[in-house]
Amino acid sequence: MQFTKMHGTGNDYVYVNGFEQQVADAASVARRISDRRTGIGSDGLILIQPSDIAVARMEMYNADGSRGTMCGNGIRCVAKYLYDHKIAVDATIPIDTDDGIKTAECTIDGDRVVTVRIDMGEPRFAPSKISVQLPGDEIVNHAIDVNGKSLAMTCVSMGNPHAVFFLDTLDNITLDVDGPFVESLDIFPDRVNAHFCVIESPTRVRILHWERGSGATMACGTGTCAVCVAGAKIGRMERRVTCLVPGGELDLEWTDDNHVFMTGPAVEVFTGTWNER
């Protein structure tokens, strides 16, 4: 299997060109190649497939083999792959996903994509859209216990579910303990992505991510969208912010027409051949 390793702000995936080859049992392949000791090492597997309604279709699997609905950093890299490898001829690229068509606006340097702006669509707040079993029309500043810490949680869906926590400091967060605790809470029957945040100013926020199915990651694109929306929702952040993640920075904007736009880098690391076993 031929593959390309790519990352967006450190959120790395293995990409396979589905226009040229097919992957049997993608969930199993995702688990094997994602292992950072015995595999290629990644946060998951993304297949770039043909589409009848867009330039291509993104099919995404987490490191544990579970299917992901949407991936913000991943789709930026898909856009770069499509343009750099001449599948797309224009810098504006519609991409089909399990959360609908997302439009990528690529910034080109020479003949290569360096950054991508994605229309990530509209945030959803209804518990039924997030798959969170709590009463009410929205889950905003809802107090929950996280390993003995009382934290205020705001829930947002960006095609996948997110629980956002704004804290005074990240010093009291043990990500590999608190992350899986939140991910597996009974109120989230489909599990959830958890984001622990400190607001540095109304336009800057620092985030630690725990992604369902992948664990701690250097960045989470849909997660930064959720943080942007949640911060504005509770009145502590502006609608245009810079998110500081372990892998770098992402620029987010929640526009007046209720769409969230994310801008960030996309990097091709290397290509290779995966020998199936």
Determine if residue 130 is left, alpha or beta; phi over 0 gives left, psi from -120 to 50 gives alpha, anything else beta.
Answer: alpha
Q: Following DSSP, what letter does each residue of 40-102 receive, concatenated?
A: S--SEEEEEE--SSSSEEEEEEETTSPEES--HHHHHHHHHHHHHTTS--SSEEEEEETTEEE
Choice among 71, 106, 225, 243 that is catalytic: 71
* Residue 71 known to be catalytic: yes
Residues 6+ apart with CB under 8 A from 80: 6, 106, 112, 113, 116, 266, 267, 268
d(CA 138, CA 125): 5
Contact by Cβ (8 Å): 197, 166: yes
Do residues 184 and 190 touch, judged by C-beta distance below 8 A? no
Measured CA angle at 127 (ends 245, 123), to 5 deg: 45
**Which pair of tokens denotes residue 264?**
């960030």
Pick the catalytic residue from 106, 197, 220, 225: 220
- Based on the residue annotation, tell me whether 77 is a catalytic residue of this protein: no
Neighbouring CB atoms inside 10 A of 37's CB total 5
Q: What is the DSSP letter of 190?
A: T
Residue 189 contacts residue 131 (beta carbons within 8 Å): yes
Active site residues per annotation: 71, 220
